[in-house]
């Protein structure tokens, strides 16, 4: 099966918003084994939308649109889909009742405009919107299908998950099962090299790497007649991957480095305190994003100045004078100092040159030291990070979390 | 002039990455007054790319592509553009020298593959890439133009700014001048209502609102024969807007709330210390993103537990017992405590229920108190924020910065 995605809206054409809908739908369709060869964006314009439907359905069996289902007159996606298939719009009483019910829950009264949102051809399958007033719909004619979904991502994603994915799953005989592995500390190209022999020529399961800032995600997807069978196909592939790059894998599925590290601390009941210089609160903020962290997160200190490092953490004046604030020695004393001060099992410190100024030949912008003290033993990691001030700081915070994770696993 | 944007790459079609290139180019073209009616995405496939060029250039004068300029054999955008115009690829020695020079700076040796990146038709204008190995190019034939740019956003944006924007500016007679106003604390729909009479029916200058999380940006764009003339057109419009919603405008142009607040602190030489509970470091981290902050940022404390609030900040046990950690009273004592402890002019505190658990009828998830103490006078702000744990925390941190900004301006 072949599909195309058309996102409708002037805000996309003018670059006012980033098009996350196309990305979401593309990923979901790929997971369903549906091929997408084109994605397009058009404004709320009848002629151009009709032309886009024509071109897309010449090449594909299915078009999914987002946007243009609002109550105002410039929202025309549904009307154009009906016109394209030569179907007549009429009021759907059930849909109109649902819209009014939804609005009354929000203490709002529907306007005459909202009534437009309940008009559909009788041939269409209406998709209820549980998060907004715009219902979606499935239009069909002669083996060609147009599915229209609302534009706001929250409404679109919910409608896809509740109605569209089950509908599409029914159209394909095979079941697709995916497993996601999350890696930190290895670049995409190195990862591809390491896995070349494993993934080369593989068609079932497939392995797709996806790199974002400092992280790589590997998605293993298998196709079979049942989900048990598909899961079985994933097993050996995952094992081969783990054998080669297991040490970089920090988690599976929908998780994050923050969550993984925080969970280990909570599970092992290890009290932690954090002393940050260049990252200025980012490490603590990441840990505190984990809801259960309060049982182990004792305190965080942002000791940006030399005075603060000495007074709050007991970093020695001689250390600062001799080695400087950005040094292995200072990072160690900061991590040990924060442990001691708050009587915790774990202390983490960061100190570095975030830029844009302040760099020297000896200590360039991007030089960061991470200190991790666990039960009295301290390790320090030296980093040379690239990017602007924010990126250097963000990367340093992530490196600190990963370093902590690795050392916690060695316990 | 009419243009289309085609982003090339399997990673977009599979939904592995969000397409930020289209958004960037769309916005820049809109600013240049160039109309964009379609955006498309295609894979690295010769037939489909040829077809896409054909369709786009039937409708438009100019196509800008991103992606597919890499050294490997699946990168074919440039080759397909040449084929579409019937032009022959040949090695461009100057470009090849530049690629080798770029790589030698990174201590890398070019591979035979890299040589492909220096092939262009002699009719093309080559665009040097100062941030990577893939040069771009401008292809022209019979009043139709294809501009090919590299896929990595950093390289693409730099090349657009250095070479493409000046080129396009030369093609249009009118000069466009834009001014961006940044607002905080007002929603997009309320803003539109407030400005209805000012922007209704306006064609020169135009006013475009763009909402992102908790912020709205207003872009005023004027078209004229000279930039002085265009700037003159913007003046009265800006004044009308400021009369109506001036109190929400925190800055102009390329700035951020972090930067604006930090600048005021530095300029007024007001020493600041921060005590965070629910935001857990986010307020400090935002301030520290400003490079000059070290002269005034004294210390930050993440006092997540009641003990930390008492021991570090001197919050009274009775206050915590009687009113709770999430209360006006605690926020006030935290802000005053951190000022006193570090002997600063300004103290900021946050305390709230970030969720997902921990909410009660009386103190629901999203309840946050912000305390700001300036020269001994303390104000507190109560917020009811929506969103998941991360969003509540992020919004609370932004609210704290904005509250601080407003109070600093009253000094």
Q: What is the ipTM of this complex?
A: 0.77
Q: Do B302 and A308 touch (CB under 8 A)?
A: no
Q: Do A27 and B13 touch (CB under 8 A)?
A: no
In B, residues 115-154, which contact A (CB 8 Å cutoff)? none
Per-residue pLDDT of chain A (411 residues; tens, 9 = 90+): 899 999 998 889 888 788 999 999 998 998 888 989 999 999 989 999 999 999 999 999 999 999 999 887 778 999 999 999 999 999 999 999 999 998 887 777 787 788 999 999 999 999 999 988 899 999 999 999 999 999 999 899 999 999 999 999 888 777 778 899 999 988 777 787 888 888 777 788 988 777 666 788 888 988 888 889 999 999 999 999 999 999 999 999 889 999 999 999 999 999 999 999 999 999 999 999 999 999 999 999 999 999 999 999 999 999 999 999 999 999 999 999 999 999 999 999 999 999 999 999 999 999 999 999 999 999 999 999 988 899 999 999 999 999 999 999 998
In B, residues 264-293, which contact A (CB 8 Å cutoff)? 274, 276, 278-285, 287-289, 291, 293
Q: Is B201 on the interface with A (CB under 8 A)?
A: no
A291 chain-B contacts, CB cut-off 8 A: 354-357, 389
* Whether pLDDT at B315 is above 80: yes
In A, residues 210-239, which contact B (CB 8 Å cutoff)? 210
A13 chain-B contacts, CB cut-off 8 A: 26, 36-39
Q: What is the topology classification, in CATH, of domain A2-171?
A: Molybdenum Cofactor Biosythetic Enzyme; Chain A (3.40.980)
**Nearest C-alpha in B relative to A301:** B301
Q: Is A48 on the interface with B (CB under 8 A)?
A: yes
CATH class of this structure's domain A257-409 = alpha beta
Q: Do A289 and B36 touch (CB under 8 A)?
A: no
For chain A, the three-class secondary structure string (H helix, E strand, C coil) is CEEEEEEECHHHHCCCCCEHHHHHHHHHHHHCCCEEEEEEEECCCHHHHHHHHHHHHHHCCEEEEECCCCCCCCCCHHHHHHHHCCCCEEECHHHHHHHHHHHHHCCCCCCHHHHHCCEEECCCEEECCCCCCCCEEEEEECCEEEEEECCCHHHHHHHHHHHHHHHHHHHCCCEEEEEEEEEECCCHHHHHHHHHHHHCCCCCCEEEEEEECCEEEEEEEEEECCHHHHHHHHHHHHHHHHHHHHHHEEEECCCCHHHHHHHHHHHCCCCEEEEECCCCCHHHHHHHCCHHHHHCEEEEEECCCHHHHHHHHCCCHHHHHHHCCCCHHHHHHHHHHHHHHHCCCEEEEEEECCCCCCCCCCCCCCEEEEEEEECCEEEEEEEECCCCHHHHHHHHHHHHHHHHHHHHHCC
Domain boundaries, chain A: 2-171, 175-252, 257-409
Minimal C-alpha gap between B305 and chain A (Å): 7
Q: Do A288 and B393 touch (CB under 8 A)?
A: yes
- One fold for B2-171 and B257-409: no
**Nearest C-alpha in B relative to A20:** B18
A302 vs B284, B289, B305: nearest CB: B284
Q: Do A16 and B41 touch (CB under 8 A)?
A: no
CATH class of this structure's domain B175-252 = alpha beta
Q: Do B301 and A302 touch (CB under 8 A)?
A: yes
Lowest mean pLDDT among A222-236, B107-121, B245-259: B107-121
Q: Do B13 and A43 touch (CB under 8 A)?
A: no
Q: Do A304 and B282 touch (CB under 8 A)?
A: no
In A, residues 20-39, which contact B (CB 8 Å cutoff)? 20, 22-30, 36-39
A11 chain-B contacts, CB cut-off 8 A: 210
A302 chain-B contacts, CB cut-off 8 A: 274, 281, 284, 288, 297, 299-302
pLDDT at A111: 79
């Amino acid at each position: 099966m072949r599909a195309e995605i058309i996102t409708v809206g002037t805000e996309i054409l003018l670059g006012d918003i980033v098009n996350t809908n196309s990305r979401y739908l593309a990923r979901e369709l790929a997971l369903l084994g549906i091929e997408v060869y084109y994605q397009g964006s058009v404004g709320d314009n009848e002629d151009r939308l009709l032309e886009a439907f024509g071109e897309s359905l010449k090449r594909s069996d299915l078009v999914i649109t987002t946007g243009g289902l609002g109550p105002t007159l410039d929202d025309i996606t549904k009307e154009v889909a009906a016109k394209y298939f030569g179907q007549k719009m009429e009021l759907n009483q059930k849909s109109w009742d649902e819209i009014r019910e939804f609005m009354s829950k929000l203490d709002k009264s529907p306007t005459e405009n909202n009534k437009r949102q309940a008009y559909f051809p009788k041939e269409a399958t209406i998709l209820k919107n549980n998060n907004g007033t715009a219902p979606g719909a499935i239009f069909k004619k002669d083996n060609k299908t147009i599915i229209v979904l609302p534009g706001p991502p929250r409404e679109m994603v919910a409608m896809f998950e509740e109605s569209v994915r089950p509908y599409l799953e029914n159209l394909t005989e095979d079941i697709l099962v995916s497993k996601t592995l999350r890696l930190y500390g290895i670049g995409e190209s190195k990862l591809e090299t390491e896995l070349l022999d494993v993934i080369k020529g593989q068609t079932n399961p497939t392995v797709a790497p996806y790199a974002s800032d400092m992280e790589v995600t590997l998605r293993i997807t298998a196709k079979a007649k049942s989900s048990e069978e598909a899961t079985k196909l994933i097993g050996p592939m995952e094992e081969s991957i783990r054998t080669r790059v297991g040490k970089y894998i920090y988690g599976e599925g929908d998780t994050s480095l923050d969550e993984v590290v925080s969970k280990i601390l909570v599970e092992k009941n290890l009290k932690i305190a954090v002393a940050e210089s260049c990252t200025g609160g980012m490490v603590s903020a990441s840990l505190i994003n984990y809801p259960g962290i309060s049982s182990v997160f004792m305190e965080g200190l942002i000791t940006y100045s030399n005075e603060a490092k000495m007074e709050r953490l007991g970093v020695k004046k001689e250390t600062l004078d001799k080695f400087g604030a950005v040094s292995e020695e200072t990072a160690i004393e900061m991590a040990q100092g924060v442990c001691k001060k708050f009587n915790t099992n774990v202390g983490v410190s960061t100190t570095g040159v975030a830029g844009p100024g302040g760099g020297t030949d000896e200590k360039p912008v991007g030089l960061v030291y991470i200190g991790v003290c666990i039960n009295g033993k301290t390790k320090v990691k030296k980093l040379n990070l690239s990017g602007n001030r924010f990126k250097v700081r963000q990367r340093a915070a992530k490196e600190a979390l990963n370093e902590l994770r690795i050392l916690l696993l060695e316990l």
